Amino acid sequence: MTRTFFQGIDDSDATAFWNITCSNGRSYVVTIAADDTTRVLDCAKYEASGLQRCFVTFKERADQLKQKMVKPEGPPRFSGALPPEVLRTH
């Protein structure tokens, strides 16, 4: 192994997710369940779902997805310079 990264824990079943990169350059997700059952999945397959990315914590990815879902509500309130009446009242 050349790199290890703790990605997080799935709260629903207490499974820990670790990402590793091997010396051959390939990366994997290793899951360790509460009963010590382990699974290994290639990062490319893991990322194919589009939901999660290797070497990104669950919280970071949730924040990224949340930002993509939030869209600005219409154009900016004022385009260009503020009107004089706004400058006088604020």
Please determine, for residue 89, whether its predicted confidence score (pLDDT) is greater than 50.
no
Quote the pTM value.
Answer: 0.70
Select from 10, 6, 2 the least CA-distant residue to 18: 6
The answer to whether the beta carbons of residues 54 and 27 sit under 8 Å apart is: yes
The pLDDT score that the predictor gives to residue 21 is 96
* Model confidence pLDDT, tens digit, residues 6-20: 999 999 999 999 999
Strands (E), 1-90: 3-10, 15-21, 27-32, 38-42
The answer to whether the beta carbons of residues 63 and 56 sit under 8 Å apart is: no
The pLDDT score that the predictor gives to residue 50 is 81
Please determine, for residue 41, whether its predicted confidence score (pLDDT) is greater than 70.
yes
For the chain, the structural domain boundaries read 3-69
* Percent of the chain topping pLDDT 90: 60
